[in-house]
Structure formats: C-alpha cells, structure tokens
Amino acid sequence: MSDVLKILQKDELSKNDLVQLLATQGEAMQDLFHYAQNVKAQHVGNKVYFRGLIELSNRCKKNCYYCGIRSGNPNIHRYFVDEQEVLDAVKYAYEKGFGSIVLQSGERNDKDFTETIESLLKKIMKLTNNEIGITLSLGEQDEETYLRWREAGAKRYLLRIEASNRELYAKLHPQDHDFDKRLNCLKLLRKLDYQVGTGVMIGLPFQTLGDLADDLLFFKELDIDMCGMGPYIEHEETPLYQFRNLLLSKEERFLLSLKMVALLRILMKNVNIAATTAMQTLDSQGREKALRVGSNVIMPNLTPLKYRDDYLLYEDKPSQSETADETVRLLEEHIRAAGCEVAYFQHGDSQHYFSRKNKNVQ
Ligand code: SAH
Ligand code: SF4
C-alpha cells in the first residue's frame, strides 16, 4: 500500500498528516485524488448544483490588501446593478432551473445598503414563488441585519475567513479589519440558522502548508456546511502585489487548491464545495478538475455584461464577455466531461446542514 493510502486510512487525520498530503506530487498526488473521487462518489454522487452568481456592486468600505475592488483603489468605476437587471438575471436563473442564486458584493453596512438588500430579497422571493434558494456573500454585518435578510428569504451565507491563522490574517488586512469579528459573524450566521459557508485563499504570500492544514481543521472544527476556496491571484493595483516574488507558480497554486478540495471532501464528506472561478482562471479546465476530486457546486456568472469589468477582484478573471447562455452551454460540456451531471430544478442544499441539525435534535 502506498504511503498516501496508509495515511488516508487513519480514523483521524492530524495536522502533520494533512501537511504530508498537501505536499504530495506526481503519483502520490494522483493516489490522493483517486481516494477523494471515491469518497465523493459514495457520499455526494455526481450531481452538480448551479448557483447563478450576481455581482451586485463593487462599492466596498473595506481595504483588504489582496482585492482589486478594495476601497483604496481609485482606478475603478463603482457601480450598483439596477434592480430591474438583478430581477431579470434572477428570472433567467429561475426559468433555466438553476434552483439557486448567489448575491455577492463589496461590503457596506449603511442603512441604505442593508434595506436595499432586504427589499431585493423580498422581490426575488415573490418573483420566484418563494422557490429559488438564495445565498448571500455580502461581508460582515450585525446580528439584526443578518436576521432581517434571513427572514426576507436568504438561507445560505458565504463569508470566507480568508486565512484561519491570525498572524497571516493580520498581514493581509489593515489593522482595523478584525479576525475575531469575522469569526463571530460566522457564529452569528450559524445561530440564525443559515447554511454557513466559509473558505480561504490558497497560495498566498507568507502562507505555509501548515497554515493550509490548519485551515482544513478550522473548517472541521467550525462544522461548516459549505466551502468556497480557491487560489490567490495577484492584482497589480493592490498592496500585496509587491510580494509576488514570494508566490508559487500559477500551476503549483492550482494543484495546491485541488489538493485542498480533495482533502476537504475526505474530511467533511457531505458538505457542499464550490468549484471556484479562481480555479478556472489558473487552468482552463480548473472547475472540471475540481469537480472530479470533490466539488459539487458551480456558480455561473449572471452579472450583466456591462458591469463585469468593474468587478475584478484579481487579474485575468475568465468569461468576462460570455453571455449566460454561452456560459451554461460550455459548463454543461465540461461537467459531462468530468463524469458529472447538472441537477436542474433542485436547491442542492448542503446535506451536512440537515445531518448536523438532526444530530442536535437527537
Ligand atoms: N466582500 C465580500 C464578498 C466579495 S469578495 C467578502 O469579502 O466577503 C469575495 C471573495 O473574493 C473574498 O472572500 C476573497 O477570498 C476573494 N478574493 C478577493 N481578492 C482575491 C484575489 N486577489 N485572489 C483570489 N481571491 C480573491
Ligand atoms: Fe471588499 Fe470583499 Fe474585496 Fe475585502 S475582499 S476589499 S471586503 S470586496
């Protein structure tokens, strides 16, 4: 039996085991991928769930050192998608049978923003006969806001911890960005009965394999329902760009991301894991490869084309001029090639969410 299989057969994987698995190359890495593929087949099957992604606005009050739409970048045109355009995109997703949408934007906490979102959620629910599943990715908010959005129809929330190592987190953010506040937001979301998703960037400057192993253990400890993680990709107009000489090659960052997806599938068998756009940015078959080793969710971009070039979190974001119809057609081909199948007209809720709730009742 190979060394990799010996490690994988343990009941519990330690940090040291995870570091060894993250360091695998060549055949050993393929052993890891095959193992994850089997775990995926057994526990979540080959269905892929679509979430139509609408990048609502690039206005952001935060200034994360890695992100292209940070408030300190003066070179971008700031937008908020018109309400009717959002509703048109939702209608498209609904009629195509996507089952769910994701509303994402820069972070704002002002009343105008939180009320606009609340009203939008109500309109979306009405437009879709309360049928569409809504995931929000709108940053850190207070408990009241999360509650109002939950009551208005949102049932899932994505808030990446970005890096679970506090010291690394501090290197990636200005001093007024608070790790504990972000962690507390994840706890609030859980308390308010959202399906909770988090994630990290992979291949960041200063990040070690030990950090990534700790990220995986952090997801487990928090008992998350969903995960969206992908490679860090540099952006010239950000402070972190100065450390680009510390980065792994794009291929290495991609493979490391794939190993993270595979390991999370092995560690948390029934969570939803997204095959992220950033993975596709570094490898044109990136999402397909992620589906093979563990992912089961894809977020086709439904943002109206005229706004897309203003939502550049990182360089070389793909499909910037592809219409929704083209995106769906290409994705379907890639998904089939990966031996998977799109599950239309289904929410594709996190099975983990239901199993942990059942456990709590017993
Ligand atoms: N403002 C919200 C949601 C939008 S940003 C928030 O921050 O939670 C969504 C995600 O984009 C972030 O969580 C971050 O992980 C990712 N991101 C930002 N800049 C990136 C970069 N340069 N490379 C890869 N991912 C990046
Ligand atoms: Fe704003 Fe999110 Fe980008 Fe940070 S990562 S600057 S919060 S959009």
Q: What's the pLDDT at 319?
A: 65
State the closest ligand 2 atom to the C-alpha of 162, by its place in the atom list counted from 1. 5
| C-beta of 24 in contact with ligand 1 (< 6 A) | no
Mean pLDDT on 74-78: 95
Q: What's the pLDDT at 316?
A: 82
How far is the C-alpha of 132 from the C-alpha of 69, rounded, in Å?
A: 29
| C-beta of 159 in contact with ligand 1 (< 6 A) | yes
pLDDT at 1 over 90: no
Distance 12 CA to ligand 1 centre (A): 31
Residue-wise pLDDT for 251-264, tens only, equals 999 999 999 999 99
> Would you place residue 321 in the very low, low, confident or very high pLDDT band (cuts 50, 70, 90)?
confident
> Would you place residue 315 in the very low, low, confident or very high pLDDT band (cuts 50, 70, 90)?
confident
Token pair recorded at residue 46: 């080959």
| C-beta of 213 in contact with ligand 1 (< 6 A) | no
pTM comes to 0.97
pLDDT at 231 over 90: yes
Residue-wise pLDDT for 136-193, tens only, equals 999 999 999 999 999 999 999 999 999 999 999 999 999 999 999 999 999 999 999 9
Residue-wise pLDDT for 265-309, tens only, equals 999 999 999 999 999 999 989 999 999 999 999 999 999 999 999
Residue nearest to atom 4 of ligand 2 (CA): 64
Q: Which ligand is nearest to the CA of 299?
A: 1
- DSSP string over 10-75: SSS--HHHHHHHHT--HHHHHHHHHHHHHHHHHHTTTEEEEEEEEEEE---S---TT-TT-TT-TT
Q: What's the pLDDT at 361?
A: 60
Q: What's the pLDDT at 221?
A: 97
- DSSP string over 188-233: HHHHTTPEEEE-BEES-TT--HHHHHHHHHHHHHHT-SEE--EE--
Mean pLDDT on 104-108: 98
pLDDT at 96 over 90: yes
Q: What's the pLDDT at 318?
A: 74
Question: In sequence order, what E strands does 87-205 have?
Answer: 100-105, 133-137, 156-158, 195-198, 201-202
| Mean pLDDT across the chain | 95
| C-beta of 247 in contact with ligand 1 (< 6 A) | no
Strand, helix or coil for residue 162: strand
